[in-house]
Amino acid sequence: GAVVSQHPSRVICKSGTSVKIECRSLDFQATTMFWYRQFPKKSLMLMATSNEGSKATYEQGVEKDKFLINHASLTLSTLTVTSAHPEDSSFYICSASNYRDGYTFGSGTRLTVV
Amino acid sequence: GENVEQHPSTLSVQEGDSAVIKCTYSDSASNYFPWYKQELGKRPQLIIDIRSNVGEKKDQRIAVTLNKTAKHFSLHITETQPEDSAVYFCAPIKAAGNKLTFGGGTRVLVKP
């Protein structure tokens, strides 16, 4: 079936630095990529939706200058957390969509900002 | 946007008993109703889904029932086993490719 590879799985970074998370669709073309954030014991909250070659659409309350999303090809989307702070520590997960395979989730990235 | 609520938020059952989780939604245009299972630190996994032209669907110990008039659908797990312990999410949507709006989740604990 469809596979989305997400890296890194865990990352610890210092306050003020930036972190890039990658999601690659390995055997299909992802027309749309969704990025979610999940705090402990909470639900998945959609941060933004990106379509290949166009600007991402951010959900209300999500800072687009802080969470930079790039979807330059049909197989790669990246989320960069800029100037990270401890409150950005969370589980970030992507979900790729195409009309054939439905929704396929990446394995998630646990970000800890110290 | 879609307003999605799940009940209960936690559910503890004895192994072998049944578990039922209800999901209510607000958008009457929703026509795809999936249930996801998420184990700690892992990605959500689709376990069963139903489309608006069907009222019930079953896959071994798991079933989903849909009441479009009342705008709710439910996940039924029979003969629960310890490996069913996880968090379950519903995510009703209008059409494939649209963004998923997840319910708040139901933490299920199956006691041996």
pLDDT by 10s per residue, chain A, length 114: 789 999 999 999 999 999 999 999 998 888 889 999 999 999 999 999 998 888 899 999 999 999 999 988 889 999 999 999 999 999 999 999 876 667 899 999 999 999
Flag whether residue A102 sits within 8 Å of chain B, measured between CB atoms. yes
Lowest mean per-residue pLDDT among A78-82, B1-5, B30-34: B1-5
**A93: nearest CB among B43, B96, B101:** B43
Residue A8 preceded by cis peptide, ω within 30? yes
Tokens of B64: 């989903």
Alpha carbon dihedral B66, B57, A94, A51, in 10-degree steps, equals: -70
Chain A contact set for B105 (CB, 8 A): 42-43
pLDDT at B52: 82
- What digits encode the pLDDT tens for the residues B93-104? 987 678 889 999
Separation of alpha carbons A105 and A93, rounded Å: 7
Per the listing, tokens 């039922």 go with B20
Per-residue model confidence (pLDDT) at position B95:
76
Q: What is the pLDDT of residue B96?
A: 67
pLDDT score of B25:
96
Whether the per-residue pLDDT at B80 is higher than 90: the answer is yes
Q: B97: distance to nearest CA of chain A, Å?
A: 6
Q: Do A31 and B97 touch (CB under 8 A)?
A: yes
Across chain B, mean pLDDT equals 94
Contact A32 B97 (CB under 8 A): yes
